[in-house]
């Protein structure tokens, strides 16, 4: 309960499931109950600036430090935030640009019609079919592949699609053609840039959390006024919980 900035209340601590050992077996024969302390009032006043500064730095890293008077630390946190945002945006945009580039390259050098002649439903390009190639009929009545994420992944990874590349005559023992190899490298770079953006995004969140806790710990957390307390401590092995209970009242 809180009144005029003073918190009073009652706390309990329960330690249950004592391991069965020799001492535990002996205690099970006893019922011990005793009290300690003298009941007197106590006051606990919490400085809410801790919570305020925590929330401020959680929203904008460095804000809580600035409020605490730690301006240099505040500048460092906000600088890390700006650098993180820049790193995320630049890597994500570069990944998007490279993705657009490899898709255009794949559309130019991989031909569905040529590939479809080698597809009998069970094998394609002389390899066992393990992945589907969904299609649709365009406005000209021509069957076209659905060029989604799976399409661009399939023509990159699986040998059953290799004969759709326009330089199939140069295929090596690893089912790679020069154009397919270039395409794989472009796609790999795009995925790496997206992963970099994801890592930077995670570091931005870490910066928020570290800044928030640092701001809270840099605040005058709590002031206490306490003279004494009252409580009870008892062991009751005959109870169902077989536990030790300590109860403190202030």
pLDDT of residue 101: 97
d(CA 77, CA 63): 9
**For the segment 206-235, what is each residue's pLDDT rounded down to a tens digit?**
999 999 999 988 875 444 444 444 444 444
Q: 25 pLDDT exceeds 70?
A: no
At residue 238, the 3 state secondary structure works out as: coil
For the chain, counts of helices (H) and of strands (E): 7, 12
Sort 150 into a burial class: Cβ within 10 Å, 0-12 / 13-18 / 19+. middle
Average pLDDT over residues 226-247: 45
**For the segment 58-117, what is each residue's pLDDT rounded down to a tens digit?**
999 999 999 888 899 999 999 999 999 999 999 999 999 999 999 999 999 999 999 999
Q: 5 pLDDT exceeds 90?
A: no
pLDDT of residue 228: 44
Residue 153: CB partners within 8 Å, gap ≥ 6? none
Fill in the DSSP letter of residue 227.
-
Q: 168 pLDDT exceeds 90?
A: yes
d(CA 153, CA 249): 65
pLDDT of residue 53: 86
| Number of Cβ within a 10 Å radius of residue 94 | 17
Q: 174 pLDDT exceeds 80?
A: yes
Q: What is the pTM of this model?
A: 0.66
pLDDT of residue 152: 97
Q: Among 2-16, 54-68, 116-130, 183-197, where is mean pLDDT lowest?
A: 2-16
Which of the four pLDDT bands, split at 50, 70 and 90, describes residue 19?
A: very low
- 36 forms beta bridges with 231
pLDDT of residue 220: 55
Terminal-to-terminal C-alpha distance of the chain: 11
Fill in the DSSP letter of residue 141.
S
pLDDT over 70 percentage in the chain: 69
**For the segment 28-51, what is each residue's pLDDT rounded down to a tens digit?**
433 333 333 444 433 333 467 788
Helix ranges, the chain (H): 22-27, 49-59, 63-68, 71-109, 112-116, 149-157, 178-217
d(CA 183, CA 19): 63
- The alpha-carbon radius of gyration of the chain (Å, integer) is 34
Average pLDDT, the chain: 78
pLDDT of residue 188: 97
Q: How many residues does the chain have?
A: 250
Average pLDDT over residues 160-173: 94
Q: Are 71 and 220 in contact (CB under 8 A)?
A: no
Which of the four pLDDT bands, split at 50, 70 and 90, describes residue 121?
A: confident
d(CA 138, CA 86): 41
Residue 75: CB partners within 8 Å, gap ≥ 6? 62
- 35 forms beta bridges with 232
């Amino acid at each position: 309960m809180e009144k005029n900035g003073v918190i009073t209340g009652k706390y309990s601590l329960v330690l249950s499931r004592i391991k069965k050992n020799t001492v535990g077996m002996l205690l099970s024969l006893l019922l011990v109950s005793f009290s300690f302390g003298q009941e007197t009032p106590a006051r606990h006043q919490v400085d809410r600036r801790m919570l305020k500064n925590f929330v401020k730095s959680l929203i904008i890293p460095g804000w809580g430090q600035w409020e605490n008077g730690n301006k240099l630390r505040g500048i460092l946190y906000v600088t890390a935030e700006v650098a993180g945002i820049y790193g995320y945006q630049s890597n994500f945009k570069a990944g998007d640009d490279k993705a657009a580039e490899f898709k255009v390259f794949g559309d130019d050098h991989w031909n569905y019609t040529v590939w479809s002649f080698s597809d009998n439903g069970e094998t394609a390009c002389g390899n066992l079919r393990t992945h589907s190639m969904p299609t649709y009929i365009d406005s000209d009545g021509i069957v076209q592949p659905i060029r989604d994420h799976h399409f661009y992944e399939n023509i990159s990874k699986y040998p059953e699609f290799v004969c759709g590349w326009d330089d199939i005559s140069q295929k090596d023992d690893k089912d790679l053609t020069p154009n397919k190899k270039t395409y794989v490298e472009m796609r790999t770079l795009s995925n790496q840039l997206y992963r970099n953006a994801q890592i930077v995004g995670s570091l931005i969140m870490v910066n928020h959390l570290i800044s928030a806790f640092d701001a809270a710990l840099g605040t005058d957390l709590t002031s206490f006024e306490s003279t004494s307390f009252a409580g009870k401590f008892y062991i009751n092995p005959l109870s169902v919980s077989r536990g030790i209970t300590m109860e403190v009242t202030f």
